[in-house]
Structure 1
Amino acid sequence: MDTDKLDLKSPDLVNKNFEKLADLFPNCVTESAEGKAIDFDLLKQELSHAVVQGNKERYRLEWPGKREAIVTANLPTTKTLRPVREDSVNFDNTENLYIEGDNLEVLKLLQESYLGKIKMIYIDPPYNTGKDFVYQDNFSKDAQEELIESGQKDEYNQRLVANPETAGRYHSDWLSMMYPRLKLARNLLDKDGAIFISIDDNEVDSLEKICKDIFGEINFVSKLVWKKRVSPANDSQWFSSDHEYLVVFAKDKETWYPNRLERSEKQNSYYKNPDNDPNGPWNSAAYTCNKNKDERPNLYYPLINPTTGEEVWPRETAVWAYSKETHAQHVKEGRLYWGADGKSKSPRKKQYLTEAKKVVQRSVLDYTEVGSTQSATLDFLQLFDHNYFTYTKPVDLIKRIITLTTDAEKGDVVLDFFSGSGSTAHAVISKNAEDSGNRKCIQVQLPELLEEKTQAYKDGYRNICEIAKERIRRAAKKIKEETKADIDYGFRVYRLDESNMQDVYYKPQDYDQGNLDLFADNVKSDRSADDLLAQVMLDWGLPLSLKIEQVDVSGKKVFKVAENSLYACFDSGIDEDFAKAITKDEPLRIVFKDSGFKNDTAKTNVKQLLKQLSPETEMKVI
């Protein structure tokens, strides 16, 4: 602001009064649909010694826009995902997905195909620092108005808007952005699944509250702390921010439990064998517990020190941790340690390394074990000459989460719908290479345009997705060369777009008979058979990761999905001879274009032939 320039307007007394009240009663400042506001009911209470009767109190999280956020999650979409073979790696056989587009729309499209099938979700959403962006989900405006308002007029129809801290709905806009996405994500989680969300101090409390609203307070698991810095940030205004959080919720906490971790060399080093015990290295544990003799009289009894022959009792405020029978077994097995000279007043129980269990993850994740902000940069620079991202997460951090939540052999699916630079896909490939796993990953990212002044733009990239896809290709190549692991290194790229179907398909009431002749084929003219197959798979609730084969049947191109799970043919001239040929494989499902039949008679006859020759086959047309 130019301090030498005259304002040339009268003072805004309302704002001045607001600022005075906010200074005196900061707890009364809230957010409304119009922006920052004063909670007058709460202000009345601050100015009264008696309880002021106002709105009925209840324990819940509210913010301006919450109802709209719920509606947003429930609104259906007619959009679809179009395959981009040229950007993919091993498209027909890979089971990994990379999806470009607004994650809200994509999550809606995945609802049937992946309902209850995702084992782990990891996201690193915008942190609401005032410098980041949030999605503007306003479906009440027409497309052009929305583009103008958001300042985005590119072909991707991006809905990203700045969310400065001075905004009147600073917290509310962020909550409204996150709520519908988390609500849809919960539907996708397996009952034995969990979500991990990276967040910093700015919104960690709000995030935890909306997750409890969506997942249920009973399914809150933990708020892990990631110690992310190797060295302090000495230029910080207050304190060096050395940590972030991972908020963890289970779909069903009674069902989901994290895997234990392999023991480290440091943990094993605590086991020694000073007395040459034939059972090998051991550690020792206390032989008493924190109950007293009144609470556990059966555990209050004397032991005999084998070296001194003395009778030994526990302290009056404690008892032995084991019954007489179990103690006798310990003596027989030589499990008691009476000190180096054998004269201790209380034994300890030997715990052998061979019996040691895997370890439980601690609530603090240290950068020495799971990487730091610095190592995240190095992860990227191992693949590129420049670092195009500022706040990526280290691959080792995400690999730790994968270790805690997935099974190498079960083909668990990992979803990241704020996938950014592609760190999660990198981590999944790396982890699979380590343990010969067959985990699958789904990455979703809005193709945010890059500014021309950035190094990435100068290097030829035009949006974030282009960088991420290249990162996954390079990471996969590097890991394959280094490990020679026999795993899935590919990924299928899909791009969010408008439906493949003409508008008349969804809104026939908007067209009269004169228009209908223009839509003899209800599929848009620029859509390919690959496009149609993707939409059919989504509509039929089939995972997009299923193996796809292309075969020739009676001179026509047929897609075979997961062997005989789905056959799709979008060629013209479908007739009885083709139907007879295809029924030999007895597919579970088959789909044609409505305009693809030779004539109306052929359509009827094909349907009847399928019923006769392959009665289990379900036929549909688009």
Structure 2
Amino acid sequence: MQKIEASSPAAQSADLIDANLGQLKRLFPELITEGANGIAVNIDVLKALVGDKTTTDNDEKYGLNWHGKRRARQLALSPSTGTLRPCPDESVDWDATQNLMIEGDNLEVLKLLQKSYAGKVKLIYIDPPYNTGKDFVYPDNFQDNIKNYLELTGQLAGGQKISSNTDASGRFHTDWLNMMYPRLKIARNLLKDDGAIVISIDDAELQNLRRLCDEIFGEENFAGTVLWKKKTNGNNMGVIPPVHDYIVCYGRSLQENTLLGIPISKEYLDSEYSNPDDDIRGPWTTSDLSANHEGPYFGVVNPKTGETHFPAAGRYWVFNEQDVLSRIKEGRIIFGKSGNAKPVQKKFLSERPSMRRKVESWWDSHGYNEDGTAEIGELLATKVFNHTKPKKLLQHVVNMATKGDDLVMDFFAGSGTTGHAVYAQNEADDSMRRFILVQLPEPLDPTNSEQKSASDFCDLIGKRRTIAELTKERLRRGALKIKATSTKKKADFGFRSFKLESSNIRAWNPKPTDLGQAVIEYQDHVLEGRTESDILYELLLKLGLDLCVPIEVRKVAGKDLHAVGGGVLMACLAPAIAGAEVDALAAGIVAWRKELAPAGDTTCVFLDSAFADDVAKTNLAAILEQHGIQNVRSL
């Protein structure tokens, strides 16, 4: 017999509020909504239901609204106070690669990438957390998002995992929308005009996602929804077993080449097109001469047999009578390959407008979740990730929207399938697509049964117990597997690793009671432990330069001088520049710039705190300006 504890629900009186809400929801489901503190009753709807005419329609308008939307919009507009620190030791082919793997809160990272990558991304694919009633780790309601992020991921003492998105919270949809809105809002800015965003989603938030994207991207830029069969057996779950997911597609500004379609294979073309009559126009196939939309209706006479043909019931010819006669003379309309059948069109391969076909639902042969789990098991370890998207599916997504050296982005990178798919598709069609992946370094708990295998694997490879470490390791191993059989002469199987951190420059935040001490401390305004390389990459972000831009380093007057992008930017970020070193440093900068011969102006940057006094700083700027370097800045 089960013992009833004093604190158990069975020992408590009935919750009358829950009972009342339950009855209201059964009778009038439109009454129940989500408010600031959870479940709420829409008073205006209640008044309308009982015939109270005092309600007004001042606030009635079409659109999606929820508690916190205004705050979510403000989050999207607020600047980040962070930076991205380079991690060459965790990267692959740092000096040569054009791919990025960024560890951090994707909202902050998206903000930091605004200047450098605005309007440059051809495809954004994301597989955001599905709203299953389980917790997800994206709280954006703190004043200092960087500090919150560091605490959240255990990078500051006293940090703990903070998450809240359960059915019990009463904010099931609200929390998810507050998480998604600012990220999608910022992501739109990164897309090229003909770029596409492709989002995997299930039934729980499909409708909200559609309305959210209609607002952010514009309803007119909705390209369509692809149905994807994710598993072969629904195990009789639910009324309709959930064996599918949705892939929602929008364009930044929907154009013909926003979604390119899937290239048609040579095997398919060879099976469909042939040239049995040695037509000088080359291989051809046939298509129907009639359609079910209203059009011309007349008898078409076979000039060889005299037989007259009419369209089938309910169908009409696609050409008028004069066009049909002309096309028969040109050999573009034939009467079957035998010459005695109904009239059909000849369609020549050489006149085909595109060698791609439009995307439709992916019900079979596009990979299942179990394939994604098996791939991870083969590359890393069994049960490290469950229900990951298969590489085959993501290759189709990459293939349908990108080509050449297009840039692909995934800011919910998870196990890294998108990066792996880019590697694989580049190998398949001999292209040089690039990727940017962003993944939160969410800590793995070895005491959690669902995370133990992943945590143990991190211990095995000597890495921190975070999801981001698994992402990077999957990229390394996936690339090595493809590279082992690659036939490409030029390929990029690497990535540059970066980590989100607080800015390298100490914020000016003096205490009103001790302003003098604050001024003294701020003279050395670079945070302790930050390197010249850290500061350089923050500078790239501030100036809007690509994080994979070529950088050369040369010793000048005993200092490291960095030439970025062939001399577009030259930076000496040494912590100290003495007055006696100014002439030699300036001469070295002028000589190297002349050697590099950049096409445009050069910006020179130094640390303001590096100069012994204002005289040294002024003299250096004056010498550089005399030699045509007008844009001299201090950081």
Q: Same fold (TM over 0.5)?
A: yes
Does the 8 Å contact 1:271/1:353 carry over to 2? no
Q: 1:429 to 1:49 in 2, by over 3 A?
A: same
Residue 477 (structure 2) aligned to one of 471, 474, 478: 474
Matched residue SS, 1:71:
helix
Does the 8 Å contact 1:158/1:446 carry over to 2? no
Q: Does 1:448 align with 2:425?
A: no
Residue 536 (structure 1) aligned to one of 534, 539, 542: 539
> 2:331 — aligned with what?
334
Gaps of 5+ in 1: none
Does the 8 Å contact 1:94/1:545 carry over to 2? yes
Moved more, 78-87 or 41-50: 41-50
Does the 8 Å contact 2:93/2:496 carry over to 1? yes
Q: 1:271 to 1:405 in 2, by over 3 A?
A: closer
- State the 1:483 CA deviation: 0.6
Q: Does 1:18 align with 2:21?
A: yes
Gaps of 5+ in 2: none
Does the 8 Å contact 2:510/2:518 carry over to 1? no
Q: 1:274 to 1:567 in 2, by over 3 A?
A: closer
Q: Does 1:172 align with 2:169?
A: no
> 1:250 — aligned with what?
251
Q: 1:12 to 1:301 in 2, by over 3 A?
A: closer
- The one-character-per-residue Cα deviations of 1:569-619 (angstroms, maximum 9, x if unpaired) are 11122512211221231562221111223542221011111211023x522
Structure 1 CA distance, aligned partners of 2:632 and 2:512?
26
> 1:406 — aligned with what?
402
Q: Does 1:216 align with 2:218?
A: yes
RMSD: 2.9
If the length of structure 2 is used for normalisation, what is the TM-score? 0.88
Structure 2 CA distance, aligned partners of 1:201 and 1:104?
24
Q: 1:519 to 1:56 in 2, by over 3 A?
A: closer
Moved more, 455-464 or 183-192: 455-464
Structure 2 CA distance, aligned partners of 1:423 and 1:405?
16
Residue 348 (structure 1) aligned to one of 336, 344, 347: 344
Matched residue SS, 1:327:
helix
- The one-character-per-residue Cα deviations of 1:106-154 (angstroms, maximum 9, x if unpaired) are 1111111111111110111100101241411112489989999x7x755
> 1:204 — aligned with what?
206
> 2:610 — aligned with what?
596
- State the 1:447 CA deviation: 0.2
Q: What does residue range 509-548 of structure 1 map to in structure 2 within 5 Å?
A: 512-548=515-551
Q: 1:530 to 1:140 in 2, by over 3 A?
A: closer
Report the residue type matching 1:577 in the other structure: A
Moved more, 373-382 or 396-405: 373-382
Q: Does 1:491 align with 2:489?
A: no
Structure 2 CA distance, aligned partners of 1:75 and 1:488?
35
Structure 1 CA distance, aligned partners of 2:145 and 2:111?
20
- State the 1:93 CA deviation: 2.7
Q: 1:145 to 1:182 in 2, by over 3 A?
A: closer
If the length of structure 1 is used for normalisation, what is the TM-score? 0.90
Does the 8 Å contact 1:134/1:177 carry over to 2? no
Report the residue type matching 1:457 in the other structure: S
Q: How many aligned positions are there?
A: 607
Moved more, 459-468 or 335-344: 335-344
Does the 8 Å contact 2:262/2:359 carry over to 1? no
Report the residue type matching 2:374 in the other structure: L
Residue 364 (structure 1) aligned to one of 338, 361, 364: 361
Structure 2 CA distance, aligned partners of 1:313 and 1:54?
58
Moved more, 177-186 or 358-367: 358-367
Residue 424 (structure 1) aligned to one of 418, 434, 443: 418
- State the 1:51 CA deviation: 9.9
Does the 8 Å contact 1:225/1:365 carry over to 2? yes
Report the residue type matching 2:443 in the other structure: L
Structure 1 CA distance, aligned partners of 2:267 and 2:33?
50
Report the residue type matching 2:324 in the other structure: H
- The one-character-per-residue Cα deviations of 1:56-107 (angstroms, maximum 9, x if unpaired) are 4210110011011111111122111111121112223321111111111111
- State the 1:534 CA deviation: 1.0
Matched residue SS, 2:520:
helix
- State the 1:450 CA deviation: 0.8
> 2:624 — aligned with what?
610
Does the 8 Å contact 1:290/1:318 carry over to 2? yes
> 1:34 — aligned with what?
37
Q: What does residue range 206-285 of structure 1 map to in structure 2 within 5 Å?
A: 206-229=208-231, 231-234=232-235, 236-254=237-255, 256-264=257-265, 267-268=268-269, 271=272, 276=277, 278=279, 282-285=284-287
Report the residue type matching 1:494 in the other structure: F
- State the 1:343 CA deviation: 4.1
> 1:397 — aligned with what?
393
Q: What does residue range 62-141 of structure 1 map to in structure 2 within 5 Å?
A: 62-140=65-143
Moved more, 3-12 or 526-535: 3-12
Report the residue type matching 2:587 in the other structure: K
Report the residue type matching 2:623 in the other structure: L
Q: Does 1:373 align with 2:369?
A: yes
- State the 1:265 CA deviation: 6.5
Report the residue type matching 2:632 in the other structure: M
- State the 1:360 CA deviation: 2.5
Q: Does 1:569 align with 2:576?
A: no
- State the 1:355 CA deviation: 4.4
Structure 2 CA distance, aligned partners of 1:439 and 1:364?
25
Matched residue SS, 2:539:
helix
Does the 8 Å contact 2:324/2:333 carry over to 1? no
Q: 1:315 to 1:365 in 2, by over 3 A?
A: closer
Q: Does 1:321 align with 2:318?
A: yes
- State the 1:337 CA deviation: 3.1
Residue 582 (structure 1) aligned to one of 564, 584, 589: 589
- State the 1:510 CA deviation: 8.2
> 2:552 — aligned with what?
549
Q: 1:169 to 1:500 in 2, by over 3 A?
A: same
Does the 8 Å contact 2:262/2:396 carry over to 1? no
Matched residue SS, 2:258:
coil
Does the 8 Å contact 1:283/1:351 carry over to 2? yes
> 1:386 — aligned with what?
382
Q: 1:413 to 1:373 in 2, by over 3 A?
A: same
Moved more, 595-604 or 77-86: 595-604
> 2:432 — aligned with what?
438
Q: 1:482 to 1:613 in 2, by over 3 A?
A: same
- State the 1:473 CA deviation: 1.0
Does the 8 Å contact 1:569/1:593 carry over to 2? yes
Q: What is the percent sequence identity of the aligned residues?
A: 38
Q: 1:611 to 1:166 in 2, by over 3 A?
A: same
Structure 2 CA distance, aligned partners of 1:118 and 1:105?
18
- State the 1:309 CA deviation: 1.9
- State the 1:500 CA deviation: 0.7
Q: Does 1:59 align with 2:62?
A: yes
Q: 1:338 to 1:367 in 2, by over 3 A?
A: closer
- State the 1:537 CA deviation: 0.6
- State the 1:331 CA deviation: 2.1
Q: 1:590 to 1:436 in 2, by over 3 A?
A: farther
Q: Does 1:415 align with 2:415?
A: no
Does the 8 Å contact 1:416/1:424 carry over to 2? yes
Q: 1:95 to 1:359 in 2, by over 3 A?
A: closer
Moved more, 432-441 or 2-11: 2-11
- State the 1:387 CA deviation: 3.5
Matched residue SS, 1:247:
strand
Report the residue type matching 2:376 in the other structure: F
- State the 1:442 CA deviation: 0.6
Structure 2 CA distance, aligned partners of 1:362 and 1:81?
37
